[in-house]
Structure 1
Amino acid sequence: MTRFVVIFLLCIGAAPFLPGLIESRLDASGRGYSASEVEDDDTGERTHRISLNRHGHYVADAYLNGRAVDMLVDTGATLTALPESVADDIGISLSPSDFKHAVGTANGTTYAARAVINGLRIGNIRLRNIDAMVLKDSSLSGPLLGMSVLNQLKRFDISSGTLVLVQ
């Protein structure tokens, strides 16, 4: 009887971790797509949908160089923009002398460093060698997914509160 109680307690302890383990295994095998991630067998297109959040913004759950990063989709940004701390987290190392490009932001003019994001994944959409700019944390509160990403897609459109990305 003690053996069954121990097994039961182990099962209860492991239960909260099972969904994450299953999701990671499916994602690693490339087979586990949610309803917002679809690959069309006829065309070979990869589609990902992003719903409008409660603040009226589209926020992508992205992976930059393998690290999870929430990015605000900004069609007004020519390049994808990262705060320096995020760039450092994803393996982009910069020196103070790299911040030499004057850029205009909503908060005025500041200086940015050019960078390349080696890999970006949003759902099942995967892109490589993304041109980006890195700004000091005081100049940019969060990462922006700009046109340097969106222009690499086959298309993107917005309808009924959903941003649809197609690769």
Structure 2
Amino acid sequence: MSEALKPLRPVMATFAVLGLLWWGFDALLERRAHPNAGIVTGPEGDRRLTLEAGPGGHYLVPGEINGATVDFLVDTGASHVAVPAHMAERLALTRGRRMQVNTAAGRAVAWDTTIDEIAVGGLRARDIRGSINPNMDSDFVLLGMTFLRHVDMRQRGGRLILSADDDAG
């Protein structure tokens, strides 16, 4: 380092430390917001998943619809899988008949659809009824009961355990 830059060493060291702190806190906040981000979907995925609750007690989990990666919000209050309209084309979903749905924000118009395959971890289900909802602006899909009825669910101490029906014992 040249003599002219020596007085800047403390400033550069301070920025380096601040950068490391920023990176560490960002990783911590991301882990808290998405505690299940590391779950693997596909043939190597577990058929028994233990999901950690995120902020507000919600269970976010990565998965796939028709082979495309999505984030799911587990929603036992949703009768079917609800997909935001802005995601439907990327997921190769076809709009079916127009329908009325009841949401947390009230009644809304949506379109019926059939999802060829949903996978979460090693859990898979085919020909799942869903809806395409133009009023959802989220970047996650509501994983409702048309998928969840195919798995065993247990909730204990901030964790939700999902397992294949045949593994439930």
Q: TM-score range by the shorter chain?
A: 0.5 to 0.7
Q: 1:103 — aligned with what? A: 101
Alpha-carbon distance between aligned partners in 1 of 2:67 and 2:150, rounded to the nearest angstrom: 19
Alpha-carbon distance between aligned partners in 2 of 1:105 and 1:54, rounded to the nearest angstrom: 21
Shift of residue 106, structure 1, vs aligned partner: 1.1
Matching of residue 163 in structure 1 with residue 160 in structure 2: yes
Q: 1:133 — aligned with what? A: 131
Matches within 5 A, 1:1-167: 30=43, 32-33=44-45, 37=46, 46-94=47-95, 98=96, 100-136=98-134, 138-141=135-138, 142-153=140-151, 155-167=152-164
Shift of residue 140, structure 1, vs aligned partner: 4.9
May I ask how many residue pairs the two structures share in their alignment?
A: 124
Instruction: Find the residue that maps to 2:94 and give its secondary structure.
Output: coil
Instruction: Find the residue that maps to 1:86 and give its secondary structure.
Output: helix
Q: Sequence identity, in percent?
A: 29
C-alpha contact (below 8 Å) 1:110/1:139 kept by paired residues: no
C-alpha contact (below 8 Å) 1:79/1:147 kept by paired residues: yes
Aligned residue identity for 1:130: I
Instruction: Find the residue that maps to 2:160 and give its secondary structure.
Output: strand
Shift of residue 71, structure 1, vs aligned partner: 0.9
Deviations 1:76-113 (A, max 9, x none): 0011100112221110133xxx5621111111111111
Larger radius of gyration: 2
Deviations 1:137-159 (A, max 9, x none): x3453410001111112x11111
> Runs in 1 of length 4+ with deviation above 6 angstroms?
none
Instruction: Find the residue that maps to 2:89 and give its secondary structure.
Output: helix
Shift of residue 54, structure 1, vs aligned partner: 2.8
C-alpha contact (below 8 Å) 1:107/1:139 kept by paired residues: no
Q: 1:18 — aligned with what? A: none
Aligned residue identity for 1:92: L
Structure 2 portions without partners, runs of 5+:
1-39, 165-169
Aligned residue identity for 2:70: V
Instruction: Find the residue that maps to 2:70 and give its secondary structure.
Output: strand
Shift of residue 55, structure 1, vs aligned partner: 3.4
Instruction: Find the residue that maps to 2:154 and give its secondary structure.
Output: strand
Deviations 1:116-141 (A, max 9, x none): 111111111111111101110x3453
Aligned residue identity for 1:68: T
TM-score, normalising length from structure 2?
A: 0.67
Alpha-carbon distance between aligned partners in 1 of 2:107 and 2:97, rounded to the nearest angstrom: 12
